[in-house]
Amino acid sequence: MRQLNRLNQYQRLWQPSEGATQQVTISELAARCFCSERHVRTLLRQAQEAGWLSWLAQSGRGKRGELTFHVTPESLRNLMMEEALKSGQQHNALELAQLAPEDLRALLHPFLGGHWQNDTPTLRIPYYRSLDPLHPGFLPGRAEQHLAGHVFSGLTRFHGSNSEPTGDLAHHWEVSADGLRWHFYIRSTLHWHSGDKIETAQLQRSLTALLALPALRKLFQSVLRIDVTHPQCLTFTLHQPDHWLAHRLATYCSRLAHPDQPMTGSGPFKLSVFDPELVRLESHEQYHLSHPLLKAIEYWITPTLFDYGLGTSCRHPVQIAIGELDELENLRLVSSSTSLGFCYLTLKHSPRLNKMQARRLINIIHLSTLLHTLPLNEGLITPTEELLPGWDIPQWPDLTDVRLPETLTLIYHLPVELHTMANQLKHYLAQQGCELRVIFHDAKTWDGCQQLAEADIMMGDRLIGEAPEYTLEQWLRCDALWPHLLSAPQFAHLQATLDAVQAQAHEQARHAGLKAIFSQLMENAVITPLFNYQYQISAPPGVNGIRLNTRGWFDFTEAWLPAPKS
């Protein structure tokens, strides 16, 4: 970046005298700036023309000239950054922002939130970490899942709070009477973000590649093949009925990218920048559904504005604007909700831990004050006694006479609130004569975890998507947890039961089947939910149309900014 280089060179000129007038030779300045004498003369001329300094040269080689400074490097940095922000040069601004957090916060505050930038309604969101690549299939972070849902389209989609899928790239679909042939009729006015027309054969290629991924192969195991049976029709042929198919195609993991350009989608927003410091979305003018009201959305990756002690916790709400403490009153809480997603605890039955001992452990968690006395921020979590609304945990009698094992092993992954839960549980069990060995898997999922086989107890986080029952079915099919938690015969029986549930054409029958499966798992003390999160979004005045979704974010296509007053 040219501006940053000029600023660094100016810093080198300034540093030896800390801004006091210097008597110095050209050769000394060249050595200080690691450049030639000719180049340093150019630097001095440009800085003098900009009003940063004055250079009074003396004739004769080796003569000392007089160097006088008019601005400090810090004030120059702030000025450069402010100009970059005003002109919409976000990369330059963030590269220049090598400031202390409090200075950066003060400087960025006027430019965050909602603004009309060059007649373009733009929403800028500060975010506490870089976003992972939007590769096909499952993504561990809810921010990435949310983003993928806006950049890519699927054959079907979930709309609003409706748990039943509706058309997306396909305007409708038909299912044969035996449930083995699904015809998806593709819209005729589809375009990739590149502007090219979407061909049905491209969607078939993308779907075939997607279903070849190991995790997605489990999800779509009933699919035998996908054919282009008409220029505007894709036909799925199944070897066994699967009435979750439209749901599977509607989730973020089944969104489709261009088969030859993996970052090119057809969703309401296209990626124009995807860097560690900045992610910029721009509205897709040829989007096939309702067009967004915002023209651009930017994630400004500014971790210095956030508390590192919070790690990758859900404790970070989606913040659309920030400010000094005395400015926070300008923010308003626009939406909040209790997530259906939950943190959970599972127990693996073995000669070391039987069912009654597992039930006593669950009683310890739910009947003691353990969950209610976790030293976490007020309003962050809500202890729960149901897996989903109406799916109550079982109630057992007092089991204090059941002797616990002398030693147990607990393994858990993020979010960081489970650090606290693990420590509390270890302390509590020690008082009961049970030594708890604790292992932390530093990730958001169980993928790649080599220590699951040695664990008696596992704790993790289960995000619930738009269709709660279906999301739990997907969890049982695809998560690496279950083959380690259940014996091989138990896991095979579970998969066969899921196959029987998906064969039910009626939604209510499938929901009842899933509820029965989880009720049995809870009754057998294999799983219990711990707590839900409280999601919230705060926004400055003037940012409208914000409503929390199931991932703790908001639909970018619904947000809008009023036009600036003339």
- Would you state the pLDDT for residue 335? 54
Report the greatest alpha carbon distance in the chain: 99
Report whether 154 contacts 253 (CB < 8 A): no
* Amino acid at position 422, single letter: A
Sequence letter at residue 61: R
- Confidence (pTM): 0.79
| Spatial CA neighbour of 551 closest among 433, 493, 467, 431 | 467
CA pair distance 477, 494, nearest whole angstrom: 9
Q: Which amino acid is at 302?
A: T
Count Cβ atoms within 10 A of the Cβ of residue 94 and give its class: 0-12 exposed, 13-18 middle, 19 or more buried.
buried
Q: Quick one: which of 263, 6, 273, 286 has its CA closest to 135?
A: 263
The number of CA neighbours under 13 Å toward the Cβ of 112 is: 26
pLDDT at 548: 67
- For residue 292, say if its preceding peptide bond is cis, omega within 30 degrees of 0: no
- What's the distance, CA 457 to chain centroid? 27
Residue 355 confidence (pLDDT): 95
Tally of CB atoms within 10 A around 156: 24
**Distance separating alpha carbons of residues 475 and 472, to the nearest angstrom:** 5
Residues 6+ apart with CB under 8 A from 551: 142, 145, 146, 463, 465
Which among 354, 373, 169, 359 has a CA at the least distance from the CA of 257? 169
Low-confidence ranges of the chain (pLDDT < 50): 100-102, 308-329
Neighbours of 363 (CB within 10 A): 19
Q: What mean pLDDT, rounded, does the chain reach?
A: 84
For helices 488-502 and 468-478, angle between their N-to-C axes, nearest 10 degrees: 140
Provide the pLDDT for residue 518: 97
Spatial separation of the C-alpha atoms in residues 73 and 15, rounded to whole Å: 9
Looking at residue 50, what is its pLDDT?
Answer: 87
226 SS3 class: strand
Per the listing, tokens 């489970």 go with: 418
How many helices and strands (H and E) does the chain possess? 16, 21
Residue 494 confidence (pLDDT): 97
* Helix%, strand%, coil% for the chain, nearest 5: 35, 25, 40
Q: What is the pLDDT of residue 315?
A: 40
Which residue in 504, 424, 423, 72 sits closest to 247, CA to CA? Answer: 504
Sign of the alpha-carbon dihedral angle for 495, 501, 502, 507: negative
What stretch of H or E contains 486? none
Q: Are 348 and 498 in contact (CB under 8 A)?
A: no
317 CB-contact burial (10 Å; exposed 0-12 / middle 13-18 / buried 19+):
middle
Nearest to 418 by CA among 556, 313, 560, 291: 313
Beta strands in 205-331 (DSSP E): 223-230, 233-238, 269-274, 278-283, 296-301, 318-319
